[in-house]
Structure 1
Amino acid sequence: MPEVSFQLEWPDGKSSTLYSPSTVILDYFRPGDSLLVSELEERGVEALRAASERVRARYGFACTRADEEESQLRQWVSRYSPDDTVRVLGQPS
């Protein structure tokens, strides 16, 4: 199953990587997107859960890494105001 990662640029200029075990995340994010932190959290959680379900459908078990990514995403989001803006950059180098 193809993996996808995006580099995120947070309001304070810090960056992090958002990993997905499935390309389904491309239905939720594209490089160049600018989103409110609240929207990033909502879409990110939905995308990671969809990706985990794709893994389950193919291999018979959910992706624990997607669960870890959701937890990490929520930690990052908690550092900022819901109305702040996050940029979705390309794949990490």
Structure 2
Amino acid sequence: MPSVYFNVVWPDESRSQCYSPSTIIKQFLVEGESYEVQQFLTKVREGLGEASERVRAKYGYSCSAAADQLKTIEELVAKGNFPPGSTVLVRRITENDL
């Protein structure tokens, strides 16, 4: 199952490399697009949830890496204290086909 890394730029110009165990995340996030912070969080929750379910369907268990990545993103958003209307840029999405 190909995994995906998506690099984001936060409203404070910091950057993160994020992980999804499935390419399904590309149905939720588009490279080069900016999303309002809460919209980004919603899309990531949905996308990583779907990715984890794909792992469950294939291997019989959910993906702890997807859950960990979501927790990290949620913590970044909570600690970021970003102004209303701030956006997150999905700078790059790359597949890692192992």
The residue that corresponds to 1:74 in the other structure is 74
For the residue of structure 2 that corresponds to 1:8, the secondary structure is strand
User: Runs (4+) of structure 1 moved beyond 4 Å?
Assistant: none
> In the comparison of the two structures, how many residue pairs are matched?
92
Preserved contact between residue 6 and residue 88 of structure 1 (Cα < 8 Å):
yes
Q: Per the alignment, in what secondary structure is the counterpart of residue 90 of structure 1? A: strand
Paired residue for 1:15? 15
* Paired position in structure 2 for 1:86: 88
Rounded Cα–Cα distance in structure 2 between residues aligned with 1:74 and 1:25:
16
Q: Distance in 1 between matches of 2:48 and 2:6?
A: 13
Q: 1 or 2, which has the higher strand percentage?
A: 2
Alignment of 1:12-91 (within 5 A): 12-78=12-78, 79=80, 80-91=82-93
RMSD: 1.2
Unaligned stretches of 5+ residues in structure 2: none
- 2-side partners of 1:46 and 1:64: how far apart? 15
Letter in 1 for 2:89: R
TM-score when normalising by structure 2:
0.88
Deviation at 1:18, TM superposition (A): 1.7
User: C-alpha deviations, 1:8-42, integer Å up to 9, x for none?
Assistant: 00111100012100000000011101000000000
Matched-pair contact (CA < 8 Å) for 1:31–1:90: yes
